[in-house]
Structure 1
């Protein structure tokens, strides 16, 4: 599977001097078991899609949610 979904962040969010910040280590793909199913063609798991072709399967999405954690710096004083 490919990771095609993205977050685009501006440079100030990556700088450690701002009040709100993030980094690549705070990015993850949310993949609990209920969003996955055994792939019928390839080894492993795949997203439990709502549709397979024209047939409704009752799933959620063909993409898994991407989570980005934003952190807040304590005692931040803007200039």
Structure 2
């Protein structure tokens, strides 16, 4: 399985901090999620990291067995 990790406010939207999904192309994985969650995850300011490495381009990414895809929302501080 592949693990999706939701950080910050995205955890609230997803209703969980992480979710196990079948490996495959990221586009297919996101298409299988609740549409409201997928829209949030694809937000302009949401960053993604695979196995701890920040991505700059999502095109053609295929997640394998044991991979972790983290969704990182923007952080505001004071």
TM range (shorter): under 0.3
Which structure features the higher share of helix residues? 2
The higher relative CO (CA closer than 8 Å, separation ≥ 6) is in 2
Q: TM-score when scaled to structure 2? A: 0.19
Q: TM-score when scaled to structure 1? A: 0.19
Which structure features the higher share of strand residues? 2
